[in-house]
Amino acid sequence: MALSIEKKVGIFFLIAIIALGVMIELVEDWRPFETQYSYNTRFDSAVGIKLGDPVRMAGVEVGKIKAINIDEQQVRIDFYVTEGTTIKEDTVAEIRQTNLLGGQFLGLSFGSAASPVLAPGSSVPSRERANIDQLITNFDRNQERVLGELADLVAESRQPFAEAISRFESITRKVDEGTGTLGKIINDPSVYQDLQVGVGDLRKILGRIEKGEGTLGRLLHDPGLYDEASQTLANLRDISGRLREGQGTLGRLLTDESLYDEAQQTLGQIRAIAAKINQGEGTLGLLLNDDGLYQETRQAMERIRSIAAKIDDGQGTVGRLINEDDLYREAKTTLHKVEKTVDGMSDTGPLSALGVVLGTLF
Q: Has residue 271 got a pLDDT over 90? A: no
Residue 107: its pLDDT value, please?
92
Reported as a pLDDT band with limits 50, 70 and 90, residue 342 is low
Q: Has residue 65 got a pLDDT over 90? A: yes
Q: Has residue 353 got a pLDDT over 90? A: no
Type of residue numbered 156? E
Q: Count CB atoms within 10 A of the CB of residue 57.
A: 19
Higher pLDDT, 127 or 287: 127
Q: Look over the chain and give the mean of its residue pLDDT values, rounded to a whole number.
A: 79
Distance of alpha carbon 40 from alpha carbon 70, whole angstroms: 12
Residues of the chain with pLDDT > 70, as a percent, come to 86
Residue 24: its pLDDT value, please?
66
Q: Has residue 178 got a pLDDT over 70? A: yes
Higher pLDDT, 104 or 139: 104
Enclosing H/E stretch for 69 = strand 60-71
Q: What is the pLDDT of residues 3-59, one digit of tens each?
A: 677 777 788 888 888 887 777 665 555 555 578 899 999 998 888 888 889 999 998
Interior/surface letters 190-217, b for 16+ CB within 10 angstroms, e for the rest: eeeeeeeeeeeeeeeeeeebeeeeeeeb
Reported as a pLDDT band with limits 50, 70 and 90, residue 117 is very high
Reported as a pLDDT band with limits 50, 70 and 90, residue 320 is confident
Q: What is the pLDDT of residues 72-95, one digit of tens each?
A: 889 999 999 998 899 999 999 998
Residue 132: its pLDDT value, please?
61
Domain residue limits, the chain: 1-30, 34-133, 189-221, 291-323, 325-361
Higher pLDDT, 147 or 36: 36
Radius of gyration of the chain (CA): 58
* In contact, 125 and 41? CB cutoff 8 Å: yes
Closest by alpha carbon to 64, among 53, 78, 49, 77? 53
Closest by alpha carbon to 59, among 112, 99, 101? 99
Higher pLDDT, 76 or 337: 76
Residue 26: its pLDDT value, please?
56
Residue 126: its pLDDT value, please?
92
Residue 90: its pLDDT value, please?
93
Higher pLDDT, 345 or 227: 227
Reported as a pLDDT band with limits 50, 70 and 90, residue 222 is confident
Residue 91: its pLDDT value, please?
94
Residues of the chain with pLDDT > 90, as a percent, come to 16
Q: Count CB atoms within 10 A of the CB of residue 131.
A: 19
